[in-house]
């Protein structure tokens, strides 16, 4: 158990809908990363938050947004869902966002299926 | 061309065999990570390396910065080692985000 929790574990929804994925980092970790794993693209970085502020952005679609709250949990919002958004979404946490050699601890993932 | 390349893509071994998975990268990195993804989907961090060699139980990871290459070795392999092994790097130009290889599917038969 990495200490990172994600809810829900599975999510099945329809095209055009909006969903929210939630992540709670390990106790004391200030940085949260969101990654997407799809069959055709593999694992890709989406976005990073550090202590409530956006730190880095990757291949995140405009239909997707995220935030990190004062208690450090993070939410990833996916809207106007398309079939191609079906994927495993992981969050990972690390103690800081400024030390580039930090190990990242992964949550169990949320499997999103868009029908 | 991907910044991180792994080989082989698939590997089948018999229980007890010594296994090597390779990772090459084409750009400057700050650190290299080896991750394990189980059939259920969960990802576990095995090693983080910036130089030299690390060992944990039957797993050994090495990195050669000059050659831009890393290897993950598994000694005395066991069916429970069956998983996808993923090499990931933090690029010198991209902060602490991870850039991933495509993974190596390892199957160890009893």
Asked whether the beta carbons of B78 and B59 are under 8 A apart, the reply is no
d(CA B70, CA B51): 10
d(CA A75, CA A89): 11
Do A100 and B86 count as a contact with CB atoms less than 8 A apart? no
pLDDT of B1: 63
d(CA B109, CA A3): 31
Looking at the complex, does the CB of residue A108 fall below 8 Å from at least one CB of chain B? Answer: yes
Computed from CA positions of residues B88, B90, B91, B95, in that sequence, does the dihedral angle turn out positive or negative? positive
Do B90 and A58 count as a contact with CB atoms less than 8 A apart? no
B4-51 pLDDT tens trace: 999 999 999 999 999 999 999 998 999 999 999 998 889 999 999 999
Mutating which of A95, A101, A113 best tests the B interface, going by the most B Cβ atoms within 10 A? Answer: A101
Do A58 and B97 count as a contact with CB atoms less than 8 A apart? yes
pLDDT of A100: 62
pLDDT at residue B95 is higher than 60: yes
d(CA A47, CA A65): 9
Provide mean pLDDT across the span B56-82: 97
d(CA B13, CA A17): 44
Looking at the complex, does the CB of residue B54 fall below 8 Å from at least one CB of chain A? Answer: no
Q: Which helix (H) or strand (E) holds B12?
A: strand B10-14
pLDDT of A98: 62
Name the more confident of B93 and A4.
Answer: A4
Query: How far is CA B97 from each of CA A97, B12, B25, B90, B105, rounded to the nearest angstrom?
Result: 9, 31, 15, 6, 23
pLDDT at residue B109 is higher than 90: yes
Closest by Cα among B9, B21, B11 to B69: B21
pLDDT band of residue B93 (cuts 50, 70, 90) is confident
Interface of A with B in 28-57 (CB under 8 A): 31, 33, 35, 42-45, 48, 55-56
pLDDT digit string (tens) for chain A, length 115 residues: 889 999 999 999 999 999 999 999 999 899 999 999 998 888 999 999 999 999 999 989 999 999 999 999 999 999 999 999 999 999 999 987 665 667 899 999 999 999 9
Name the residue facing A90 among B33, B43, B103 (closest C-beta).
B43
Q: Which residues of A touch B30 (CB under 8 A)?
A: 100-101
Measured torsion, CA atoms of residues B15, B19, B23, B24, in degrees rounded to the nearest 10: -150
């Amino acid at each position: 158990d990495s200490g990172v929790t994600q809810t829900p574990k599975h999510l099945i929804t329809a095209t055009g809908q909006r969903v929210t994925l939630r992540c709670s980092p390990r106790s004391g970790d200030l940085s949260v990363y969101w990654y997407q794993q799809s069959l055709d693209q593999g694992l890709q970085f989406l976005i990073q938050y550090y202590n409530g502020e956006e730190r880095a952005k990757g291949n995140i679609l405009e239909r997707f947004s995220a935030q990190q709250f004062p208690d450090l949990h993070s939410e990833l919002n996916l809207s106007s869902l398309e079939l191609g958004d079906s994927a495993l979404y992981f969050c990972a946490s690390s103690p800081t966002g400024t030390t580039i050699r930090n190990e990242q601890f992964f949550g169990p993932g949320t499997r999103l299926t868009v029908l | 061309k991907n910044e991180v390349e792994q080989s082989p893509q698939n590997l089948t071994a018999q229980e007890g065999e010594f296994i090597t998975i390779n990772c090459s990268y084409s750009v400057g990195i700050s650190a290299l990570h080896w991750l394990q993804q189980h059939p259920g989907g969960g990802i576990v961090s095995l090693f983080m390396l910036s130089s030299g060699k690390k060992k944990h139980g039957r797993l050994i990871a090495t990195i050669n910065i000059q050659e831009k290459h890393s290897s993950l070795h598994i000694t005395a392999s066991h069916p429970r080692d069956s998983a996808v092994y993923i090499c990931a790097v933090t690029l010198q130009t991209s902060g602490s985000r991870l850039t991933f290889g495509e993974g190596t599917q390892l199957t160890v038969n009893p």
